[in-house]
Amino acid sequence: MLRRIELVQGHWDTNDAVGELARSVPDAGGIASFVGKVRHDDAVEALELLHYEKLTLPGIQELAETVSRRWTLEGLVIMHRVGVMHVGEPIVLVSAAAKHRREAIEAVDFTMDHLKSDSWFWKREKRADGWHWIEPRERDHSDLARWG
């Protein structure tokens, strides 16, 4: 099983990572992927994700273990950018391959819900008036809670 868990500095091509997963699991019945990008909400000019690698990377690796125990996967990719990103650039890629589509889709959804609300990053946005720290929204917490 291909498992690729990475923190990424600088821009990367999410298509390359999904293609690598697809090539490594030719017998998978489905591959589900989510790419999160910096959006232009509230006049956002940039997004910065700060982290402490000795905490962040092991946390994401443990999340990958949890996902792998919960669903039968053929492959899993979790790549998360750190540092400063600009509008339109990718922030995160989660891609899961499984024999059946439902497992792949649910594994990606579960992973994103955890990364969005229960992760090991400090986030801030740059707007015209400067940098602003951001916290998970109530919706992010309710999305996470549905997994029990």
Residue-wise pLDDT tens digits, 37-86: 998 887 899 999 999 989 999 999 999 999 999 999 999 999 999 999 99
* Threshold 0.85, pTM exceeds: yes
Cα 144 from chain centre: 14
Query: According to the model, what pLDDT value does residue 14 have?
Result: 96
Domains of the chain and any CATH numbers: 2-145 (3.90.1170.40)
Contact in structure between 46 and 84 (CB atoms under 8 Å): yes
Question: What 8-state DSSP symbol labels residue 58?
Answer: H
Residue 97 and residue 22 in contact, taking contact as beta carbons nearer than 8 Å: yes
Token pair recorded at residue 60: 């994401």
Which residue shows structure tokens 């922030």?
Answer: 91
